[in-house]
Every structure is written in C-alpha cells, then in structure tokens.
Chains A and B, each alone.
Chain A
Amino acid sequence: MSTQLPEQVDDESSADEVEPQPEAQERRLQKKRDRAAEQERQRQAEEAEKALDDEDTYHLKVFRYDPEIAGKKEPRFDDFHVPFEKGMTVLDALMYARDTYDSSLTFRHSCRQAICGSDAMFVNGSQRLCCKTQLSDLEEPVRIEPLPHAEVVKDLVVDMEHFYDQMEAVEPYFQTNDLPDGELEEQRQSRENREKVKMSTRCIWCGACMSSCNIAAGDNQYLGPAALNKAYRFTMDEREGEEMKQQRLEILEQEHGVWRCQTQFSCTEVCPKDIPLTEHIQELKREAVKNNLKFW
C-alpha cells in the first residue's frame, strides 16, 4: 500500500478541532454518523448483491477512507457494480456509483475532458486521468485508489499542496526585461521556438508524474517532473533572453533539481498529455552543463 494516510486522531478531538460544539449535540451527531455509516454499509451490500446478478456490469473496487466518521477511519475497499455502457470511462463509473449507491463517495473531477487535471487517480496500478480512461480497456475488477505518495484527505482525494509548492519553487512565470516598444507590439517568437516549448506548455498539473516518480517518493524536496517541465517551458523560450536563462538554470541545478532525475521514464509513461517529461529534464541537464562550460 503506497498511499500515505495522515496520522489519525481520536474521535472527539477531531470533532472539536473542526468546530467546537456543545457536548450533547456532538454526541447526537456522532450517533447519527455511526448509524449512517452502518446503514450505508448495509445498503451497499444489498446493491452489490443485486448488481452481481446482472451480466452487463463492471466491478469496481474503490479505496475508501474518512478520517472523521467512525467505521470509515480504517482504510478499506468498497465494491461497486456499475451497469456498463459503450464509451463509459472510469470517471463515468465513479459518478454513477456515487449518484446511485453512495453519495458520500468522494473524488475530485470537473471538466471531464482531460484539461482541468483534477481526476488523476491510481487505476489498476497506474496513474491515469479517470475521465479519459475507458473502462473497456481495463481488466476487472477495476481497482481505483488515490494517487500514491500523497496524503489522502478522504476516499480518492489527496492533498495537492506539496505538488503546488514544488511548481511554485521554479519561478513559474514569464520574465523578461526586454519588451518591444510600442503599446500594441508583440514580442516576436519564431515558429521553431514555439514548437520547441509547445509540449511543455500542455501540462495540466494533474500530479500523475510526481506520483509515479520513485525519486520524488524518496526525496520530498526534489522538484519533480512537473515543476522541471514548467521550468523547461520558460528556460527554452527565446523571448526571455540569455541572462534570464542562466538565472533559471541556477535554480534547476540546485541539490534537489535536475540532477536527481534518474531517467526512469515513469513520468513520461503516465503523462496524460504525452509530454516527453524525461526528455525535457535531460535537455535541461545538457543546458546546465553547457552553461557551466562557458565559465571554464
């Protein structure tokens, strides 16, 4: 089990931290929660049994965990049997399970067209975007877990803060001191240069690469493939100029920067936008070497 769970706190203190409430009300709520949990388990068992009789269903095994609710604190897998329709994606199946069987099933999703990057999960042992993964491409039972190497908030939702922090560490914004004269004059950029950075600009911050990276798993400070790719996007943009490029390479050459990458290609393999992440990191290494050679 590669998923990290936050340290559990006992029942009452967690409730107190969330919102202090009179004891009686809290006891009442707790009872309700326990009862709800029990009812839910029963209903699911019944639904599961019913669905098993149906041949055109897909069997999902979904990771569940809720730090707050008695009976859900112990991580477990729930079974859902979802009626299958042609073209159905893993996200469709999860939404069906949530809307039909258990409204407490929790996961992030929004655009369902592979651009918002919010529904990256660990599906049958691989980091994937649920919205663009066809159920029919997967072996049953389909095992759905939160992204490994990230703290689980609840069910399939992980804490993305660390990922965002790493993205911000590379100064992820365009910087130039050399804007053209004239209010409506754009900076020229050659087609070749735009083509060079194009793939790197497609990152949707889903976190799949970071989750798949062995180095990032062992070194919390490693910038990781997504942030390095973001750095590539600017380092290679001819509009920023040479001086800025050197400044960027200095950031990338730090102890937990590009040199940590061991070219295992796992990030490149899982990237849902087909960004050649490993290649970009290698190119940054080459640039860094060239940059250093100049001063010898």
Chain B
Amino acid sequence: MTSRIGVVTFPGTLDDQDALRAVRVAGAEPVSLWHRDKDLHQVDAVVLAGGFSYGDYLRAGAISRFSPVMETVIEQARAGMPVLGICNGFQILTEAHLLPGAMLRNNHLHFICRDQKLRVENAETAWTSDYTQGQEISVPLKNMDGRYTADERTLDELEAEGRVAFRYADANPNGSLRDIAGITNAAGNVVGLMPHPEHAVEPLVGTGRTDGLGFFTSIIKKLVNA
C-alpha cells in the first residue's frame, strides 16, 4: 500500500506545494492538510513546510503552534508518528516543544538564500536513513530566523545523545550554536532543519542535484517496513 504523507498549510506557508511534490517524486501519496482541521486524514507522517506562517508575527512559528491541526500533530508525534519540520516548520516544532531550543534572528540580520552544504550527523532517524553518517549534501537555504539556540546543558545533551542530525559543513550561515542545522527528538521520529530538502528533489531545479530526496525516500522505507 502506498504511504500517505501529509503536508500542512498555514496562512503564510510558502513551500507546501514543493513539499507535496517531493513526496510524490519520492513515491508516496501526498495529502494536503489544512491548519484549521484537527483531522490528519489517516496520513502516516506529516511535513511542516517552510514559509512565514502568520507573517512570523510575535515569533517565527509561535502562532501556528496553537492551530487546531497542531493539537493532533503534537499528540501523534508524541505517540511516535514521524514529523519533519523544514525551516518555518522547524521553528514551529521548537515553539511546540517537540524539539528543544529556539530559533532566533540570523546574527548578521540579513535574509539568506543560497545553496548550503550540510553534513549528515545522524543517519538513523525516520527521515535520514537513506543517508550515511558523515555524508555531505547540498540543498537550498533561505531564512531570516535560522539561528539555532539552546542552553549549554541542552546542547551537551543533544551532542551526547547523537541528536544533532545536521551541521553546516562550510561557513555557518546564521550564527547557529555549534553549527547546528537540524536536530531530532530522542525517539528519532521528529526531525527539524533549517535548509530545504524539498527544493532539491529534481535535477532541473534548485541546486541541480537531488540531495534532498533522501528525506522522503527514507520515510517511505520506514513506513513500508513498519
């Protein structure tokens, strides 16, 4: 049976169509989810896509975190459902406390848009098993609030438990502590990262590479083998 992967649209989400397309290119059935609908429509996994939900007012992701769909996503994520948060989605996951820490304005105060090299530090999460540990991939990065921050104790804990899933492999683009680009929860089902794998799944667009496809093929294998 084909895996059903949902992508949530909040007011201000921009990358939902690319995420839905990435799901389809990888071979799963994409399902559009609406922020006011608590029902997840029998999806097997959820992607929180990038953009500027609620205009990033208050803080990036802070208002979306309290939307009806997130009540179910939070409950299901705690029960083990795979959730991937990309960029604004990552910000929403930290605001929802599904992932530790917080995202702050880039240290240089500029919006960045470029190809970004990442090192895969944890290839054992639900969303990264098609990569190998230490592998370097290149995917687009575009954000204003991408500076990952947490207190020293949390950072040490993340490192010790192998929960830093991705690190910036060349220059740190935004002042993220310890070059962190993405993290996972302890169970490995919830992953958040700032760069955009959904923009690098077809050779014709983005980086010209398909380095981002692994996220979506990883989760499909995980769901099929579950």
**Do A and B share a complex?**
no
> What is A's interface to B at a CB cutoff of 8 Å?
none
